[in-house]
């Protein structure tokens, strides 16, 4: 068996131990004689899976009791509508535009109310997180929306905005569980699973209790947080297998020493690549230094032909899916929690050799 080092931005690499456990339990989950894929979501065995998943996530993120944890479908993108539908009580929200995902969220929110774009880094192809001036915030906004880690452009908020009483809403799709966050600083956190949690199909929503139950009358039932809170994420069939894998990943995170331990490792992994980029006359990182992500590292070589050659030779060496997003070009190494340090070291060695051969 030859496993590659997969630098895909998402769906992305999963811990090998999780895949092995899922394989072992594939045909007969804990003596039930069936796979989790074949199991009714009303069965006791599945109830235990979703309850354990929630309990583990609460423990890993230190989620207080006045927050609900939901396992939903429709991907992170469905939350671009669910958030304004549930939270825009006074039809007014602040958004920061830091990339393709915030742009989509902004255009969706505009269907439901007034959107104040507090700041944007679009004029510089989203290569940085704008400095936020509190004077530009709307004191009466229903919420303040950010994307903590910008998957395509490789930028990260190194400091969260202080929004006072206005609930902070965060799209954490590409960096949930990669570093510690104080959940009490947020009104709502959401994340599609396929970057740092598990397979595509499940979206995690962590929402403060007082923000639930105020959805607009026109909100589709399936987008109303209150419905899912009351049904404990079992209003309809949940993405059972994705929830199961997420549970295994949460167990794995705990075994690794928790979020803090993974954060330290993630910083070490990212530093290996950034050190190379900073000391190279050949490769160049595209994000500004004080905004750099530790999950997604976009970079370029001197020209698009060399980029293509790099990607192709890397693939031959078992370093795959390094092509940058189509809107940016170049390369992007996504180094989520499940990317081992050895994979990053192998990439860095390969980059060094490639630079020597092609300079």
Is 103 a known active-site residue? Answer: no
Q: Could you say which of 171, 224, 307, 355 contacts ligand PLP (CB under 6 A)?
A: 171
- The answer to whether residue 198 forms part of the interface with ligand PLP (CB under 6 A) is no
Residue 82, CA atoms < 13 Å, CB-side half-sphere: 30
- The answer to whether residue 75 forms part of the interface with ligand PLP (CB under 6 A) is yes
Length of the chain in terms of residues written: 359
- The answer to whether residue 108 forms part of the interface with ligand PLP (CB under 6 A) is no
- The answer to whether residue 192 forms part of the interface with ligand PLP (CB under 6 A) is yes
Is 278 a known active-site residue? Answer: no
94, 171, 224, 307: the catalytic one is 171
**221 to each of 236, 244, 315, how far by Cα in Å?**
11, 25, 45
Q: Please say which residue, 295 or 351, places its beta carbon nearer to ligand PLP.
A: 295
- The answer to whether residue 317 forms part of the interface with ligand PLP (CB under 6 A) is no
94, 142, 195, 247: the catalytic one is 195
Look-up of token digits 């992305």: 12
Q: Please say which residue, 309 or 325, places its beta carbon nearer to ligand PLP.
A: 325
Q: Could you say which of 86, 155, 174, 337 contacts ligand PLP (CB under 6 A)?
A: 174
Four-point Cα dihedral 273, 279, 282, 288, nearest 10: 70
Which value, in Å, is the radius of gyration of the alpha carbons in the chain?
21
Question: CA-CA distance, 67 to 207, in Å (whole number)?
Answer: 5
Q: Please say which residue, 101 or 282, places its beta carbon nearer to ligand PLP.
A: 101
Q: Nearest approach, Cβ of 151 to ligand PLP (angstroms)?
A: 3
Is 195 a known active-site residue? Answer: yes
Question: Per CB under 6 A, which region of 50-58, 59-67, 75-83, 311-319 contacts ligand PLP?
Answer: 75-83
113 φ/ψ angles, rounded to the nearest 5 degrees: 180, -170
Q: Could you say which of 173, 286, 293, 337 contacts ligand PLP (CB under 6 A)?
A: 173
Q: Please say which residue, 14 or 39, places its beta carbon nearer to ligand PLP.
A: 14
Task: Report whether 59 contacts 253 (CB < 8 A).
Answer: no
169 φ/ψ angles, rounded to the nearest 5 degrees: -110, 130
Q: Nearest approach, Cβ of 77 to ligand PLP (angstroms)?
A: 3
Question: CA-CA distance, 53 to 59, in Å (whole number)?
Answer: 10
Q: Are strands 5-6 and 319-320 parallel, antiparallel or unpaired?
A: parallel
Q: Please say which residue, 173 or 301, places its beta carbon nearer to ligand PLP.
A: 173
Q: Please say which residue, 77 or 317, places its beta carbon nearer to ligand PLP.
A: 77
**304 to each of 4, 300, 310, 333, how far by Cα in Å?**
24, 8, 10, 17
Four-point Cα dihedral 290, 188, 9, 181, nearest 10: 50
- The answer to whether residue 321 forms part of the interface with ligand PLP (CB under 6 A) is no
- The answer to whether residue 178 forms part of the interface with ligand PLP (CB under 6 A) is no
- The answer to whether residue 147 forms part of the interface with ligand PLP (CB under 6 A) is yes
- The answer to whether residue 10 forms part of the interface with ligand PLP (CB under 6 A) is yes
Question: CA-CA distance, 280 to 85, in Å (whole number)?
Answer: 48
Question: CA-CA distance, 273 to 268, in Å (whole number)?
Answer: 9
Task: Report whether 291 contacts 158 (CB < 8 A).
Answer: yes
Question: Per CB under 6 A, which region of 72-80, 119-127, 129-137, 207-215 contacts ligand PLP?
Answer: 72-80
Continuous segment of H or E residues that includes residue 270? helix 258-278
Question: Per CB under 6 A, which region of 69-77, 180-188, 259-267, 286-294 contacts ligand PLP?
Answer: 69-77
Task: Report whether 45 contacts 30 (CB < 8 A).
Answer: yes
Cite the active site residues: 101, 171, 195
Residues at the interface with ligand PLP (CB under 6 A)? 10, 75-77, 101, 147, 151, 171, 173-174, 192, 195
């Amino acid at each position: 068996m030859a496993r590659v080092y997969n630098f895909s931005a998402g769906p992305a690499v999963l811990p090998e131990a999780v895949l092995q456990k899922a394989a072992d339990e594939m045909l007969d989950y804990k003596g039930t004689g069936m796979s989790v894929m074949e199991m009714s979501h009303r069965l006791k065995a599945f109830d235990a899976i979703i309850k354990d998943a929630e309990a583990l996530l609460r423990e890993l993120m230190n989620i207080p009791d006045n927050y609900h944890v939901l396992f939903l479908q429709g991907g992170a993108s469905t939350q671009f509508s669910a958030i304004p539908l549930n939270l825009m009580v006074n039809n007014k929200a602040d958004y920061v535009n830091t990339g393709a995902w915030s742009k989509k969220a902004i255009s969706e929110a505009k269907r439901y109310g007034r959107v104040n774009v507090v700041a944007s880094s679009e004029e510089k192809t989203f290569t940085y997180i704008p400095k936020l001036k509190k004077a530009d915030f709307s004191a009466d906004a229903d919420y303040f929306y950010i994307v903590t880690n910008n998957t395509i452009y490789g930028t990260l908020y190194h400091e969260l905005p202080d929004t006072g009483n206005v609930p902070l809403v965060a799209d954490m799709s590409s960096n949930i569980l990669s570093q510690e966050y104080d959940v009490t600083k947020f009104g709502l956190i959401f994340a599609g699973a396929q970057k740092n949690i598990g397979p595509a199909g499940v979206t995690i929503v962590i929402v403060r209790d007082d923000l639930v139950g105020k959805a607009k009358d026109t909100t589709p039932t399936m987008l109303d947080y209150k419905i899912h809170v009351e049904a404990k994420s079992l209003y309809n069939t949940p993405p059972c297998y994705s929830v199961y894998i997420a549970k295994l990943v949460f167990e794995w995170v705990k075994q690794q020493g928790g979020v803090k331990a993974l954060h330290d490792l993630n910083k070490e992994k990212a530093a290996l690549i950034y050190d190379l980029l900073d000391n190279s006359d050949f490769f160049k990182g595209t994000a500004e230094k004080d905004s750099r992500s530790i999950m997604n590292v976009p970079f370029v070589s001197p020209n698009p032909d060399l980029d293509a050659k790099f990607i192709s030779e890397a693939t031959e060496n078992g370093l795959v899916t390094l092509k940058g997003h189509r809107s940016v070009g170049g390369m992007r190494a996504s180094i989520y929690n499940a990317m081992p340090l050895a994979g990053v070291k192998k990439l860095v060695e390969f980059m060094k050799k490639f630079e020597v051969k092609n300079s």
